[in-house]
Amino acid sequence: MSTRLSASTLGRLPPGIKVPSYDRGSLKAGILHVGIGNFHRAHQAVYLDDLFNMGESLDFALLGAGVRAGDEAMRVALAGQDYLTTVVEQEAGSMEARVTGAMIDFIPPADRTATIDAMCDPAIRIVSLTITEGGYFVDASTGSFDVGHPEIVADGAAPEDPKTVFGMIVLALKRRRAADIPAFTVLSCDNLPHNGSVTRKAVVGLARLSDVDFAGWIDANVAFPNCMVDRITPATSEREKRILAEDFGIDDAWPVFCESFRQWVVEDKFPTGRPALEKVGVEFVPDVAPYELMKIRILNGGHAVIAYPAGLMGIHFVHEAMENDLVTAFLQKIETEEIIPEVPPVPNTDIADYFTLIQRRFANPKIGDTVRRLCLDGSNRQPKFIVPTIADRLVKGLSVTGLALESALWCRYCFGTTDAGETIEPNDPNWPRLQATAQKAKDDPMAWLAMGDVYGDVGKSDAFAKAFATALDSLWTKGTKATVEAYLSDRLV
């Protein structure tokens, strides 16, 4: 019989489960976080819970918020258990559960006025974000803020009635300035290159559509620190809820399962203050770029490398993909020959050791991370995790055979069937366009590379086009297994 998670039942949970040792009634909101998903609850919220357990920074509790209709389901689930979350850390030989309590409230996503009012509260010194890699309105072909996106155009035309998170941030900053309240820091915790700089472009770019002078003030006065975040955190399914109930005796409406490893490297730019997170393992550095590039290219790029061959071969779990000799050899060859050579040195880090750690993390059999999750949202992830490495190698005149094959595998996946002929259900916000383009590319590979928002100038490279066409033709004529085998033996030419 499992115990339903709530503040009143914490004392009845089975022995050995760590629960908050601090008085949650003494917490005060200092961070408004937009986008309360699994990753945030396994990462930022856990670091804060650790800090509060030390009796530190209790005025930096989390106030949840959202801007999408889908955020309401998470709010309802968490509200029903007093904003507590069970986090289960899993490794091959161990599994530990803890209950975190760093969040004290969650504003209904439909109540934008309440969210903006909360952002105006002087107690809120940080507005942090996990809104997905694709949520920043970036034109992938130019890397600039997409001022022509319909949602941005609408917010620019009606700045007092914003619908996007960036419009809400702009309005709140304007009201704080008018009330002589210092600006909050805007902290992106999303997994994209230069996330702070990208966020700055979005906020300043949107403000410029309605008030050029105020946009300049934001650019000069608001901090947007870059940071690198890392913790493998799969989606929650009935499987995870069942494991939690059976193994730990907890009934949680939306638990989080993750690996034990976590890392957070942040530029120390918080003019109005921040929690003392360095006391719980967060690294504050003057420049996060080297750490960020290493992680995005080796880990996120590595995820893409194993995802699409595994998906086409019908492999379900990521650890099962890592048990497949063909997939692991494919990862090893691309990483060592094409990805890692394009990763500059990182302070106090052995990159070869880092890659070994990444392989071990991918192979974790307890996580239950799915290949389908890794395949998700390629139209937003490929331009950030794969294409820049290709671009760097092309500039140097180096081989891109492996990365061209990775791209061809993504194209073949988006066709919508596995090698066995099973249907691949839509797995990208742009799936209809991707599928139609992949179908054209079967006979005309250049149709795929013509997606300027994904490939930019890389798609115009003759060297890349030739390697991509060769790989895609092989995938269609010989299949995934034979094509990867040919690449591994240097016969994919």
Q: Is residue 259 part of a domain?
A: yes
Q: In terms of residue numbers, what domain contains 281?
A: 3-285
424 and 441 share one domain:
yes
> Which pairs count as long-range contacts for 396-399, CB under 8 Å and 24+ apart, including other chains?
398/338, 398/341, 399/337, 399/338, 399/467
Q: Is residue 121 part of a domain?
A: yes
Of 253, 285, 317, which residue constitutes the final position of a domain? Answer: 285
264 and 315 share one domain:
no
Give the Cα separation of 371 and 447 in Å (integer): 26
User: Residue 143's pLDDT is what?
Assistant: 78
308 and 450 share one domain:
yes
Q: Is residue 132 part of a domain?
A: yes
DSSP structure class, residue 1: -
Q: Is residue 384 part of a domain?
A: yes
Residue 405 belongs to domain with CATH number: 1.10.1040.10
β-pairing, 144-145 with 138-139? Answer: antiparallel
168 and 223 share one domain:
yes
Of 383, 346, 169, the residue nearest 265 (C-alpha): 346
- Name the β-bridge partners of 265: 228, 283
Q: Is residue 206 part of a domain?
A: yes
139 and 257 share one domain:
yes
142 and 236 share one domain:
yes
262 and 127 share one domain:
yes
Non-local (6+) Cβ contacts of 333 within 8 A are: 402, 487, 488
The pTM (predicted TM-score) of the whole model is 0.88
Non-local (6+) Cβ contacts of 356 within 8 A are: none
330 and 219 share one domain:
no
Give the Cα separation of 422 and 435 in Å (integer): 15
User: Residue 198's pLDDT is what?
Assistant: 96
Q: Residue 215 has which token pair?
A: 């946009």
User: Residue 63's pLDDT is what?
Assistant: 98
Q: What is the separation, in whole angstroms, between the first and last Cα of the chain?
A: 60
Give the Cα separation of 22 and 19 in Å (integer): 9
Q: Is residue 216 part of a domain?
A: yes
Number of domains into which the chain is organized: 2
User: Residue 172's pLDDT is what?
Assistant: 98
Tell me how long the chain is. 493
311 and 256 share one domain:
no
13 and 121 share one domain:
yes
Of 231, 262, 285, which residue constitutes the final position of a domain? Answer: 285
Q: Is the dihedral of CA 11, 17, 18, 20 positive or negative?
A: negative
> Which pairs count as long-range contacts for 114-119, CB under 8 Å and 24+ apart, including other chains?
115/32, 115/34, 115/65, 115/67, 115/168, 116/162, 116/168, 116/171, 116/172, 116/175, 118/29, 118/32, 118/63, 118/65, 119/32, 119/168, 119/169, 119/172, 119/176, 119/184
Helices 431-441 and 401-414 meet at what angle, rounded to 10? 110
Q: The tokens 């918020």 sit on which residue? A: 65
255 and 294 share one domain:
no
User: Residue 134's pLDDT is what?
Assistant: 86
**Average pLDDT, consecutive stretches of 10 residues, N- to C-terminus, the chain (493 residues):** 95 95 98 98 98 98 94 97 97 93 97 98 98 88 88 97 98 98 98 93 98 98 97 93 96 97 97 98 96 95 98 97 98 98 95 97 92 95 96 98 98 98 97 98 98 94 98 98 98 89
Q: Is residue 493 part of a domain?
A: no
User: Residue 358's pLDDT is what?
Assistant: 97
The answer to whether 55 and 21 are in contact (CB under 8 A) is no
274 and 296 share one domain:
no
Residue 174 belongs to domain with CATH number: 3.40.50.720
